[in-house]
């Protein structure tokens, strides 16, 4: 779906002594404007959009510190706070009328992927809006107590530079590589796949997206089990963040990134495979009950160390099926990896499930045993390569047994 953009024009009254312009010394035609404006002017402008990679989390210590300095340190806010950075389409300043005209552009479908708007300082902006709108705070009228904030306005920035520029500017609250990759349009091909499947909005592609059901890093970690360029699959459990970082295009890649190209090979089966991972997840209780019944024992699935029961059932993102528990990634990731060869060999997902149901009870019995042997240290279980190899061997044996019976 092609984004819909709306032009936004913001006006600030700024005296010449509070507005400075710097030209690009490299002769690139870029400019920077530094202005000091009252914080209530920021509230009036409502610039809640821009090429900012994160949603704003107002419950952090950083946000709390911004709020405290705004309310408690009258006259000092612009010194305590690093300010707000805007990426502008155009800027005009009238020395006679003191009017600063800033032309921005808002993506109506995804405001925080707008090309022009708030590039950094999203938390400062959000705290100011929240303090005035929700808390009823008012900027003091006495001149010496007024709260101002510094605006740095960039003009002439190439769109291809936005992702790296935002990453460099957002250091005081680290920005995840996934957020930057999304901002840089490097994962548009994958997001479009999930949009077609109707699950895009259930995946958190940006930091502090509390409305989503699953983190984008987790989705990429599971898909990376299928990525031929990720040679050590254990990294999908131990270093998902680094795998996402490896997706970023760097100068040494000379136009192509092998890890990203490898991830793209998963595109035809991405949704189906993730739905199969959900199937494994939902089947764990059934497999455990069967393994216990075969052994003549009573089942107690909910008491397993790697299982957390829900009060209410949750709907799995990719299979759209309800489930009353959550399994730890230290179990689910090795299980998902065990079926990779079957998934890449068999084109019919029904066969994946047939193999899974045949070997599932043995797989979970193995996981329970290893977890006990590791003294219920789930992280140690997830990082245990011999376990990954054993589960894979069990699946392969079940697969070839099924093939031989035909």
pLDDT in tens, 351-400: 999 999 999 999 999 999 999 999 998 888 999 999 999 999 999 999 99
121-130, 150-159, 164-173, 329-338: least confidently modelled range:
164-173
Q: What is the pLDDT of residue 173?
A: 41
Residues 6+ apart with CB under 8 A from 208: 54, 55, 56, 57
26-59 pLDDT, tens digit per residue, is: 888 899 999 999 999 999 999 998 887 566 667 7
Q: What is the pLDDT of residue 31?
A: 93
Q: What pTM does this model have?
A: 0.62
Q: Distances from the Cα of 45 to the Cαs of 8, 11, 116, 141, in angstroms?
A: 10, 8, 14, 19
pLDDT surpassing 80 at residue 262 = yes
DSSP-derived pairing of the beta strands 84-88 and 148-155? parallel
Q: What is the pLDDT of residue 249?
A: 63
Residues 6+ apart with CB under 8 A from 365: 291
39-48, 151-160, 170-179: least confidently modelled range:
170-179
Q: Is residue 119 very low, low, confident or very high in pLDDT (cuts 50, 70, 90)?
A: confident
H or E stretch covering 220: helix 216-224
Q: What is the pLDDT of residue 1?
A: 59
Report the percentage of the chain scoring pLDDT > 70. 90
Q: What torsion, rounded to 10 degrees, do the Cα atoms 83, 87, 92, 97 define?
A: -30
User: CB–CB of 380/374 below 8 Å?
Assistant: yes
Q: What is the pLDDT of residue 250?
A: 60
The span from the CA of 246 to the CA of 257, in Å, is: 8
pLDDT surpassing 90 at residue 224 = yes
pLDDT surpassing 70 at residue 176 = no
Q: How many other CB atoms are there within 10 angstroms of residue 202's CB atom?
A: 18
Per-residue burial over 364-385, b if 16 or more Cβ lie within 10 Å, else e, is: bbbbbebbeebeeeeeebbbbe
Q: What is the pLDDT of residue 209?
A: 66
């Amino acid at each position: 779906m092609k984004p819909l953009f709306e032009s936004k024009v913001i006006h600030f009254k700024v005296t010449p002594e509070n507005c400075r312009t710097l030209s690009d010394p490299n002769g690139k035609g870029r400019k920077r404007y530094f202005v000091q404006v009252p914080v209530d002017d920021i509230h009036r402008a409502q610039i809640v959009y821009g090429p900012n990679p994160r949603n704003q989390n107002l419950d952090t210590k950083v946000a709390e510190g911004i709020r405290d300095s705004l309310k408690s340190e009258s006259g000092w806010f612009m010194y305590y706070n690093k300010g707000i950075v805007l990426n502008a389409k155009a800027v005009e300043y009238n020395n006679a009328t003191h009017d600063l005209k800033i032309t921005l552009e808002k993506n109506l479908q995804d405001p925080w992927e707008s090309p022009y708007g708030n590039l950094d300082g999203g938390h400062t902006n959000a705290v100011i809006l929240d303090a005035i709108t929700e808390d009823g705070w008012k900027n003091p009228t006495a001149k010496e107590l007024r709260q101002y904030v510094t605006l740095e306005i960039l003009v002439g920035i190439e769109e291809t530079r936005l992702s790296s520029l935002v990453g460099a500017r957002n250091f005081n609250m680290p920005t995840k590589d996934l957020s930057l990759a999304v901002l840089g349009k490097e994962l548009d091909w994958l997001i479009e796949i999930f949009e077609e499947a109707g699950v895009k909005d259930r995946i958190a592609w940006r930091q502090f997206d509390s409305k989503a059901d699953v983190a984008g890093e987790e989705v990429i970690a599971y898909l990376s089990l299928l990525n031929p360029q990720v040679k050590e699959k254990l990294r999908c459990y131990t270093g998902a963040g680094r795998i996402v970082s490896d997706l970023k295009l760097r100068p040494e890649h000379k136009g192509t990134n092998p890890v990203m190209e490898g991830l793209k090979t998963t595109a035809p089966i991405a949704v189906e495979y993730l739905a199969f991972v959900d199937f494994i997840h939902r089947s764990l209780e059934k497999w455990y009950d069967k393994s216990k019944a075969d052994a003549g024992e009573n089942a107690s699935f909910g008491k397993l160390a790697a299982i957390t029961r829900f009060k209410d059932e949750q709907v799995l993102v990719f299979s759209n099926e309800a489930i009353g528990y959550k399994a730890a990634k230290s179990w689910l990731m090795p299980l998902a990896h065990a079926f990779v060869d079957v998934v890449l060999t068999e084109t019919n997902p029904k066969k994946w499930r047939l193999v899974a149901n045949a070997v599932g009870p043995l797989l979970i019995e193995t996981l329970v045993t290893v977890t006990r042997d590791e003294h219920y240290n789930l992280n140690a279980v997830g990082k245990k390569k011999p376990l990954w190899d054993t589960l894979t061997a069990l699946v392969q044996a079940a697969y070839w047994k099924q093939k031989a019976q035909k």
